[in-house]
Every structure is written in C-alpha cells, then in structure tokens.
Structure 1
Amino acid sequence: MERLTLLGLPLDPVDMEEALRRIGGFLEEARTHQVVTLNPEIAVRAQEDEALRRAVLEAELVTPDGVGILWAVRRLHGMHLPERVTGVDLTLALFRRFPGLRVYLLGGRPGVAERAAGEAERLGAKVVGFHHGYFQEEAPVVETIQNLAPDLLLVGMGERQEAFIHRHKAHLGARVAMGVGGTLDVLAGEAKRPPLWAQRLGLEWLLRVGLDPKRWRRAPRLLRFAYLVLKEGR
C-alpha cells in the first residue's frame, strides 16, 4: 500500500505482518534502515523539531503506533487500519520471527539494558552488546555499534532516539535501527505493560498517563494532536 501523509509526515499503512515482512527485506540489505513507530506525541513534536521531522521523513518504515494515529487516518483518509504496530509489540514479534537475530540494546538507566539483554536472549535474540542511555559523547557509542554490526539496533532514549538514529545512520553498521521508547524497561522488568484488555482497546497510553505523574506533561501534546487533525480535516 502506498504511503499516507499525516500532519505533513509519512505513514506506512501496515499491519504487524506487513511490517515484519518489510523488515525482513531490510535485514537482507547491507545498509541501515530506520524504523519509526509514529505516535501522536512524535507527530506533534515533529511540527517544531526539525531534526525529528527529518528523521521521520527519511525513515524507511513508519508504522502506526497508537489509537490516535488510527483515528487520524480514518478522519483524514477514510481508511480503517487493522491494528497498531507499537515499538514493544514489534520488538517482541521480531524476536519470534527471526530467532538468533543479532541485537544491540541502547538506552535506559545504567543496568536496564543489561537486564533487558537477558530477557531478549530468553526470547530468542542474540544480544551482541548493550549500553545505557546516559552518555554525553556519542562517537564512542556509535563506533562500538558499528564494529559489532548488529542486525537490529534498539534505541530506547525517549525524545532523543529518532534524531540520534538519523544523525548517525550512515555509521551505525546495523541493518535496522528502531526507536523503541520504554521497551527496554519492559524487557528488564522495570515497567509492566497494562492489562491485556487495555492493550486490545488501545488504552495503554491513557493508563500510563493517568498512573504516572511524570507523564502528565505529555497530555497537552495528545490534545494538540487532536486539534491539528481536526483542523487539517476541515
């Protein structure tokens, strides 16, 4: 299916199976492909953050992450996408689909990536390295990743992750690089996913915002996303 445009950003209308198929193709090519899981917060930030905007515009795959994105596609394009393709779900699906996938984990507080590595190995991945996300000098980290040349680089560095991947894309040496938000925390057991019923209804974001005061500052971005979509649809 052809790419859609959402608030000036590209979106690939893929389901999980199609996303896995495309990434499988990326894994056969000797260059780095960036995967962005587009959620409403990223879409809003990209309206003012040029580095983030360029990262999304030039990503090889942009998946619909969040019920807000599904709603916006219905509103603006009249299309009903079948499901969300989130960072954590896509990560777990990749481990299942490609056993032995060589993975590097980057992000989280010191110790988180290390614990996440153990879970990733249990799920079938081969972790070739890991590093926490609290670093100032990017060059040594990039050089290490380049030397290890993983199949998949998972970057969980919050608002920095997409721009970091895009900035160093030519030198990462990974076949696929994907920003995964709090996925490393989930793998490490630092954070638990909401109940399955909430995941199926697409209400993970609501529970996270409601239960974690640190996330309350993100709520205005969700409201702005809705405003921008309604404005564009008029």
Structure 2
Amino acid sequence: MERLEILGLPLDPVDMEEALKRIGGFLEEERTHQVVTLNPEMVVRAQEDEALRRAVLEAELITPDGVGILWAAKRLKGVALKERVTGVDLTLALLGRFPGLRVYLLGGKPGVAERAAREAERLGAEVVGAHHGYFQDEGPVVAEIREKAPDLLLVGMGERQEAFIHRHKPHLGARVAIGVGGTLDVLAGEAKRAPLFARRLGLEWLLRVGLDPKRWRRAPRLWRFAYLVLRERR
C-alpha cells in the first residue's frame, strides 16, 4: 500500500512483519536508512519543529507507533492499520529475526546503554559499541559510530533522536538507524513495560502519563493531536 499522509507527515501502513521485511532489505544496502516510529506527540511537535519534520519527511520507513496514529489513519484516510509498530517492539523483533546483528546503542543516562548492551547480547546481537546520550559535542560520537559501522544503530535520546539521525545520516556508517525512545531503559531494566493487556488495548501511553508525573507536561500534545485530527476531518 502506498504511503499515507497524516497531518502533513508521511506514514507507511505496515505491520510488524512488513516492517521487518523492509528493514531486512535495508540491511543489504550500504547506505544509512532512517526508520521513524511515528507517534501522536511527534506529529504535534513536527508542526513547529522544522528539523523534526524534515527528518520524518526524508525517512526511508515510518511506522505507526501509538493507538492515536491508528485512529487518525482510520478517521482521515479510511485505512484500518493492522497494528502498532513501536520502537521497543521493533527492536526486540529485529534482534530475534536477525541473530548476530551488529548493533550500536546510543542514549540514556551514563551506564544505561552498557546495561542495555548486555541484554541485547543475551538476545543474540553482537554489540559493537554503546554510549550515553548526555553529550554536547556530537562529532566524536558520530566518528565512533562510523568507525564501528554497525548494521543497526539504536538511538534513545528522546526529542533529539530523529533530528540527530537525520543531521548525521551521511556520516553514520550504519545501515539502519532507528530512534527508539525509552527502549534502552527497558533493555537495561531501568523501566518496565506496561502489562500485556494494556499494550494490546493501546493504553500503554495512558499508563505512562498517569504513573509518571514527568510525563504530565507531555499530555497536552496528545489532546492537541486529537484536536488537529478532528479539525482536519471537518
């Protein structure tokens, strides 16, 4: 199916299996391919953040991350997407599908990436490098990633991650680069995922916002996303 457009941003209407097949093809090519897992908050931010908008527009694969994206696709385009393809689910699926994948992990507080690396190795990856996300000078970090030339670069740097990948895309030396949000924290045991029933119902975001006061300030973006979709529909 051709790409959809949600509030000015592209979206590939893929399920997990289709996303894995696409990324499998990317892994056979030399250049870096950016994968974006699009969620409602990102859509709202991209309305004003040109660097983020450009990163999404030029990504090779944009998956539906978030029940709000599925709702918007149905309401605006009449397309019933099969499932969410989130950063953490996609990461785990990739490690399972491609044993021995050469992976570099970037992000989190000091020590998190290293602990996440041990879990990634337990899941079958060959970790070629890890670095925390608390740095100012991007040059040395990019140079190290390029030297390691990973198959898969996982970037967990919150709102910085998509623009970081896009900005350095020609110089990363990775075949696939994905912004994965809090996935490194999950792999490192720093954060727990919502119960399976909540994930299946698409309520993981609601539990995160409700249980973590730090996320409360992000809730207005979810309401704004709903408003923008409803306004677009009219």
The CA deviation at 1:70 is 0.2
Match of 1:21 in 2: 21
**1:232 pairs with 2:226:** no
Match of 1:94 in 2: 94
Q: Which runs of structure 2 are paired with 1:61-210 in the superposition (5 Å)?
A: 61-210=61-210
- TM-score, normalised by the number of residues in structure 2: 1.00
The CA deviation at 1:43 is 0.3
The CA deviation at 1:91 is 0.1
Q: Which runs of 5+ in 2 are unaligned?
A: none
Output one character per residue of 1:50-81: Cα deviation in whole Å (capped at 9) or x when no partner.
00000000000000000000000000011110
The CA deviation at 1:14 is 0.1
> Helix, strand or coil for the counterpart of 1:198?
helix
The CA deviation at 1:131 is 0.1
Distance 1:85 1:56 in 2: 16
For the aligned residue pairs, the C-alpha RMSD in angstroms reads: 0.3
> Helix, strand or coil for the counterpart of 1:116?
helix
Match of 2:135, as an amino acid? F
Match of 2:50 in 1: 50
Distance 1:147 1:126 in 2: 15
Output one character per residue of 1:71-95: Cα deviation in whole Å (capped at 9) or x when no partner.
0000001111010000000000000
The CA deviation at 1:130 is 0.3
Distance 2:13 2:213 in 1: 32
Distance 2:217 2:36 in 1: 22
The CA deviation at 1:17 is 0.2
Runs of 4+ in 1 over 4 A off after TM superposition: none
How many pairs does the alignment contain?
Answer: 234
> Helix, strand or coil for the counterpart of 2:36?
strand
Question: Matched residues, percent identical?
Answer: 85
- TM-score, normalised by the number of residues in structure 1: 1.00
Match of 2:74, as an amino acid? R
Q: Which runs of 5+ in 1 are unaligned?
A: none
Match of 1:72, as an amino acid? A
Distance 1:126 1:203 in 2: 33
> Helix, strand or coil for the counterpart of 2:227?
helix
